[in-house]
C-alpha cells in the first residue's frame, strides 16, 4: 500500500504576510527590511505562479500592491508590500 510522508498542503499553499509600506512614500525614505513594517494581514494562497498573480490580487481593501519578497526556502513566507490607495491617488495628481 502507498504511504504519504509529509503534508501536501505545505507545497500547494504558501503563507503571505502583507505589510504597509505607505510611510516609505509619505516620508520619501528608502525601504526597510520586510519584518520592520506594520503587518496588515496574513493569508494562505495557492503557491502556483503566485509571483504573477500577486500584482493583480487585492490582499487588503484600500491598499495597492507595491512589491513582494520571496522566501529563501520553499516553505518560507512571502512578504508583500502594499501602499494606501489614497496616497497613490495624491501622487498621480502631480
- Kindly write down the DSSP assignment for every residue of 47-83, as one continuous string: -TTHHHHGGG---STTEEEEEEE--SSTTSPEEEEEE
Please report whether residue 1 resides in a domain.
no
Whose cell is 513582494? That residue is 68
Please report whether residue 24 resides in a domain.
yes
Q: Measure the CA angle with vertex 34, ends 29 and 35; round to 5°.
A: 120
Please report whether residue 4 resides in a domain.
no
Please report whether residue 53 resides in a domain.
yes
* pLDDT, mean of residues 29-57: 91
Please report whether residue 3 resides in a domain.
no
Please report whether residue 88 resides in a domain.
yes
Residue that wins the pLDDT comparison between 63 and 88: 63
- The sheet with strand 78-84 has its strands ordered as 38-46, 13-20, 78-84, 63-69
pLDDT of residue 25: 85
Q: How many domains does the chain have?
A: 1
Q: pLDDT tens, 15-35?
A: 999 999 999 988 888 888 988
Q: Domain limits at 86?
A: 9-92
Average model confidence (pLDDT) for the chain? 86
Amino acid at each position: 500500500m502507498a504511504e504519504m510522508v509529509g503534508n501536501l498542503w505545505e507545497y500547494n499553499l504558501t503563507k503571505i504576510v502583507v505589510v504597509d509600506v505607505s510611510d516609505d512614500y509619505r516620508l520619501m525614505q528608502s525601504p526597510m527590511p520586510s519584518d520592520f513594517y506594520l503587518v496588515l494581514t496574513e493569508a494562505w494562497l495557492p503557491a502556483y505562479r503566485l509571483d504573477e498573480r500577486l500584482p493583480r490580487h487585492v490582499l487588503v481593501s484600500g491598499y495597492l500592491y507595491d512589491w513582494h519578497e520571496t522566501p529563501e526556502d520553499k516553505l518560507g513566507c512571502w512578504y508583500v508590500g502594499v501602499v494606501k490607495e489614497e496616497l497613490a491617488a495624491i501622487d498621480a495628481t502631480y
